[in-house]
Amino acid sequence: MVEAVQYSGDVPKKAKKLPDPAGYRILIALPDVDETTAGGIYVPDERRDAEQVATIVGFVMKVGPQAYMDESKFPTGPWCKEGDWIVMRAYSGTRLSIHGKEFRIINDDSVEAVVEDPRGVVRV
């Protein structure tokens, strides 16, 4: 694994692992797709990758500094906060992989709903 190191004076400082979303964007972690179905059938890697790309559920990791600041768009305040499970549009946002884990950076208005328990929420 390669780590970015920045030097501040004589003290090296490690770069953060997760990016900070800019402006009105939100950093979302995607849930892992199960390797087997409820009936015990193995799901091939290609199918799991396709399911992860098309997922509609994510975990809010970080919220950008201008997210939900537009009072004309969000008169009742933020639609979600860090630590929430959300429903978003399939295929939305910018996909990125950090150490093998997939994340998305989405716009604040891409959040469709907040869910208490994401298990069982599937795209149809």
User: How many domains does the chain fold into?
Assistant: 1
Percent of the chain with pLDDT over 90: 49
Is residue 120 included in any domain, yes or no? Answer: no
pLDDT tens for residues 82-123? 999 999 988 889 999 888 888 999 999 999 999 998 877 877
Rounded to whole angstroms, how far apart are CA atoms 97 and 36?
22
Is residue 124 included in any domain, yes or no? Answer: no
Alpha helices by DSSP H, 1-124: 45-53
Q: Token digits for 63? A: 């919220």
pLDDT at 59 over 70: yes
pLDDT at res. 13: 58
pLDDT at res. 61: 96
Is residue 64 included in any domain, yes or no? Answer: yes
Closest to 100 in 3D by CA, of 50, 42, 29, 44: 29
pLDDT at res. 31: 81
CA R_g for the chain: 17
DSSP strand pairing (25-29 vs 111-115): unpaired
- E strand spans, the chain: 5-8, 11-14, 25-29, 57-63, 85-88, 94-98, 101-107, 111-115
Is residue 13 included in any domain, yes or no? Answer: no
* CATH number of the domain to which 31 belongs: 2.30.33.40
pLDDT at 79 over 50: yes
Q: Which domain holds residue 80?
A: 18-115
Q: Residues 54-61: what's their mean pLDDT?
A: 88
